[in-house]
Amino acid sequence: MKAYDVAVVGATGLVGRKMTQVLEEHNFPVKTLTPLASKRSVGKEITFKGEKIKVKELTPEGFKGIEIALFSAGATVSKEFAPIAAKAGTVVIDNSSAWRMDPEIPLVVPEVNREDIFKHHGIIANPNCSTIQMVVVLKPLHDRYRIKRVVVSTYQSVTGAGQKGVDQLDEELGKKQGDTHKFPHRIAFNCLPHIDVFREDGYTKEEFKMIFETTKIMGDNSIKVSPTCVRVPVFGGHSESVNLQFEKPYDLKDVLALLKKSPGIIVEDDPANNVYPMPINAYDKDETFVGRLRRDDTVPNGLNMWIVSDNIRKGAATNAVQIAEELIKGRD
């Protein structure tokens, strides 16, 4: 098997470090790994397959010879450096919001729209974490029953806000000293219905991402999505309460059977024995977990469910590595 020269941009961040971990765990065919970051991180070390590798400064010249670059350094960095990397012949898989809404850039969850990977012109966008886990579950259901409407409320962990989100919760719980203010209010013992900035229509940018990204990934603008995104004092793993309305009638046993055989999904649905998805059990796992499936009889063909996934893995690093895996399958 061919091995590839791979770079991780933003290599010292939460997601960048997880990307390196997932590349190793998945045994991705890496010939050389180049960790890139801002000047302040130069000289730090990351460990890959037992080898300590020094972080290099992100510069335009740094992509020479790099075949695949996983970006997780924020939208500003991606806007500047992703086109430079693509021009140098690197395929960029970008985890920021920089390119997701661009109609010319594929937005990919491999279990849902693998074929879009090969429409790229040098840049492939990794979707928002809360969207990824939801569409993994929606895809097989939409193919079978046709989804008309989605109402989703998210319960998103502080890791979704990066290291500063983790630091603020740690400090408020007395686990470390500091005065970090990542969130506009206290997060410990609290819930904030506020992720990203508010738009004029009253929705946040995070909520708008879920609306736009769902229809783009699913390839169906007829799906209506109504989201409310909430930050909760959990260190890792996003949870979602999802209400669906289908065009077609369904049998709940058939829905469960369909989800159990669908890729990337683990069904945990035995409430009588207290079995249902929880973020503490999804930690550091690649799969998306679904449970609490039950009918919603207030609308025709309504269904309620609870979806959980590790937002740093499937919601970011794992999905990016899976895109790279499918990319090289198509090349080989």
Residues serving a catalytic function are: 129, 238
Q: Decide if 158 contacts 187 (C-beta within 8 A).
A: yes
Q: Decide if 315 contacts 238 (C-beta within 8 A).
A: yes
In Å, how far from its chain's centre is CA 26?
Answer: 17
Q: Where are the beta strands (DSSP E) in the chain?
A: 4-9, 30-37, 45-48, 51-54, 56-57, 68-71, 91-94, 123-125, 147-156, 224-231, 238-246, 265-267, 288-296, 302-309
Q: Which residues contact 24 (CB under 8 A, 6 or more apart)?
A: 48, 49
Q: From 324, 291, 286, 329, select the one nearest 307 (Cα to Cα).
A: 291
The total number of residues shown for the chain amounts to: 332
Angle at 151 between CA 147 and CA 153, to 5 degrees: 140
Could you tell me what percentage of the chain is helix, strand and coil, using 3-state DSSP and rounding each to the nearest 5?
35, 25, 35
Q: Decide if 265 contacts 143 (C-beta within 8 A).
A: no
Q: How far apart are CA 185 and CA 168, in angstroms?
A: 10
Q: How far apart are CA 164 and CA 53, in angstroms?
A: 25
Amino acid at 190: N
Q: How far apart are CA 228 and CA 217, in angstroms?
A: 19
Q: Decide if 67 contacts 88 (C-beta within 8 A).
A: no
